[in-house]
Each structure stands twice: as C-alpha cells, then as structure tokens.
Amino acid sequence: MKPDQDRKLARAVQLITSTALGPYQSAVVRIGFGATWLLFLLRELPHRHDLYGPDGPWSWDMGQELIAGNNAFSVLLWSDSALWFEFVYGVGVLSSLLMMLGWRTRAVSVLFMVGVLSLQNRSIFVGDGGDNVVHLMAVYLVLTRCAQVWSLDARRAARAPGPGHDRAGPVLWTVLGAMLFVGTVVGRVGGDTWILVLFWGLWVAHGLWWAVNRFAPDSEPRTLLDVLANLVHNTALVVIMAEVCLIYATAGWYKIQGSRWQDGTALYYPLKLDYFTPWPELSGLLASGGVMVMLLTYGTVLVQVAFPFTLFNRRVKNVLLVVMMLEHAAIAVLLGLPFFSLAMIAADAVFLPTGFLVGLGALVVRSLGRLPGGRGAPPQVRRGSEEQPRTLVG
C-alpha cells in the first residue's frame, strides 16, 4: 500500500512543479479583472480629479498622513503635481488594457498592480466591495503565469519561441529599470522602501529569466526557474480560489446573523433606496412580491454559505456557479453596481470547468473569423514550457 501512496505523491509533486495549472482559468481571471478596472477608469474619466486627484475632498496632505500611519502604497502621494496624477491615471488605463490583451504580461501585471493600489490607496473611502476584490486580485495576478493562453504573449511565443529575436522585451526592461531607479529615490522620502525592494526583486528576476532563456535554454538553471515559476503560479491560483470561498463564506455567515436576513426581508430595503434603483419600475415590481423577495433573500444566503462545500462535487459546484453569476448580473442591473458584479463574476470564473472555457474560446474564435477581415483561429501554443512567452518581461 505504501508504494502506491509514494507513487501518487510523486505524481502530484511532478504535476505541480512541471505544469502551471489552470491556464484557461487564470487567463479568464486576467481578462476579467483587466476589463473591470479598465471600464471603471474610463467611466470615471470625467470625475477622476474628484475621486482620486487634486479636487477630491480627501486632500493630498490627508492622504500623506494616512499613508504614514498604515504604510500603504500609492505612487500618487510621491507628488501633488497635477501632471503626475494624469500620468499615473494614464498608466492605469493603459496597463488595464494591456493586461486584458496579455501583452508582456509579466511586466504589465506589475504596472497593473501599481495602478490599482495607487488609485485605491489615494482615496480609501471611494469604492465598494468590488474594489476590494480588484485590489486583492491585482496582487495575486503578479504571481501567476496568466498569459499561457488567450493572450498576445501566447501568440508571439507560438510564432517565435525563445527570446533570441525579441527586441521589445529588453527595451521595456531597461525603461522600467530606469523608472524604478527614479522611484526608489522618491520612494525613500515617501516611506515605500519595502515595496520598492519587492519591485527590484521582480525586475532582477525578469532579467535573470531572460538571460537564462537566451543563453542556456536547455540547462538545469532554466529547468529550476520553470519549476519555481510553476510552484508560485499554482500556489497563487489556490490562494485565489481560497479567497473567493472566503468571501462567500464570510458574507453568507454574516448575513445569517442579521435579523432582516433571518425574516426574509433584507432584499426589500435596497430595492426601495433611490441610490440603488437605476430602474425604479423594475425594482418596485420585484419589491411588491413578498414571496419572491423572501425566496431571493433566503436563496442568496443559502448559495453563499453552501458554495465552498460544493467544491467536492463538480456538478453541484457548476450549478451554483451559474446561479451566483446570474445573481451578480441581476445586482448589476437592479442595484446599479456593474463593476462590483463584474469583479465578482471575474473572480468566480476561476472555478469554471476547462471544457467549457475551451469551447467558449473556440466559439469566440469562430465568431471573429466570420467578421470582415477575420483571420480565423490563432496559432496553437505547444504544450510544456513553450506555453510561456520566453521574453524578458513578457
């Protein structure tokens, strides 16, 4: 019996070290959160100065005082210049777009995280639960190999694997290194030394990755780097899954303790608030049905509490996953919280079955191929380590 257990353990260790698991799930999470933050920044573009900039009620001096107390990170507090704010906001928009497309994802994921943390930590009282989810996932995505599929990186790797002819990667790495050097000097004043050390570590690791792939692609150091990258990716993916389960479990159990959730009337009250009723007639119609309100209230609690336990049964998990996504879509329409709903749907997508995602991707490719000028299916990426774009910071 023991040899069988040893073989199973050996296979499990080999799996998590030789493969970056969940390539489609991590890709859809990347696309989902990149799109969510991009759409949010574009919608708030006319109000950006009031939310995060110099015209907001939370002044720059107040932000400085708060950051000094909680050691949060925000490059917006390095300078109170309006030009610096516009630059950081523009980087946030651009990095969100590139994150969604999967261009130089290793570097862009760090810029995406910087943009999210900088804006959200600049004005911590702006946002909702969806912003908290984006905040967490922006950090986790830095640690994942989320561009294995459905990305410009994967397309480039399939066409020309290896960094031998890559010019954009070294240029981007050099530019980011120069910016990081300037940021280090300014960051010492702002008290952000700890995260700057982290950024320098990422910058050096990206350079080491490129150098090993360029000069020793079949060596033991290359294999070791790939193993370490897979371990970090798989660990981060598990953390993302655990985070989603924790969100639903805590939300469900806290709801159970509320008297309005216990008597089945909790859903009625937000449907009667002007702030949460973009469609008053529709909200009023739903609120007028007492039985429907009670069923939806109890059903929400039941689904949230039960979901973490359904992970042991694939069919039940998939059913509840569809229910939760439909619930968030309804919240976006009925309560006027589209970005909260998009963030939660993107987080839920980490549990979508691979077969469904592959089929969905094929459907999208066929649909695009029918459009005028469509090129059909992109080149397939080979299995194994070639799934990763072997570029300097891609």
Q: Domain-by-domain residue ranges, the chain?
A: 21-216+389-394, 240-352
Where do the H-state alpha helices sit in the chain? 2-18, 23-43, 48-51, 60-70, 82-101, 105-122, 129-142, 152-159, 168-190, 193-215, 220-256, 259-262, 280-287, 290-306, 314-334, 338-348, 354-370
| pLDDT at residue 387 greater than cutoff 70 | no
Long-range contacts of 210-219 (CB under 8 A, 24+ apart): 210/163, 210/169, 210/170, 210/173, 210/390, 210/391, 210/392, 210/393, 213/162, 213/163, 213/390, 214/162, 214/163, 214/164, 217/162, 217/390
| pLDDT at residue 373 greater than cutoff 60 | no
End-to-end C-alpha distance for the chain, whole angstroms? 45
Picking from 95, 64, 92, the residue whose alpha carbon sits closest to that of residue 80 is 64
| pLDDT at residue 348 greater than cutoff 50 | yes
pTM of the model: 0.89
* pLDDT tens digit sequence for 240-256: 999 999 999 999 999 99
Q: State residue 329's pLDDT score.
A: 94
Q: Helix 193-215 vs helix 220-256: angle between axes, to the nearest 10 degrees? A: 140
| pLDDT at residue 376 greater than cutoff 60 | no
| pLDDT at residue 381 greater than cutoff 60 | no
Mean of pLDDT values over 132-151 = 95
Q: What percent of the chain has pLDDT over 90?
A: 51
Picking from 88, 99, 85, the residue whose alpha carbon sits closest to that of residue 39 is 99
pLDDT band at 192 (very low <50, low <70, confident <90, very high): low
Mean of pLDDT values over 3-12 = 75
Mean of pLDDT values over 320-340 = 93
Pick the range with the lowest mean pLDDT from 59-73, 117-131, 287-301, 333-347: 59-73
pLDDT band at 4 (very low <50, low <70, confident <90, very high): confident
* pLDDT tens digit sequence for 59-110: 888 888 888 788 788 888 888 889 999 999 999 999 999 999 999 999 999 9
* pLDDT tens digit sequence for 28-40: 999 999 999 999 9
Q: State residue 372's pLDDT score.
A: 65
Mean of pLDDT values over 296-317 = 92
Q: Chain-wide mean pLDDT for the chain?
A: 86
Q: Which residue has the higher pLDDT, 217 or 207?
A: 207
| pLDDT at residue 43 greater than cutoff 50 | yes
| pLDDT at residue 54 greater than cutoff 90 | no
Mean of pLDDT values over 368-394 = 48
Q: Which residue has the higher pLDDT, 138 or 162?
A: 138
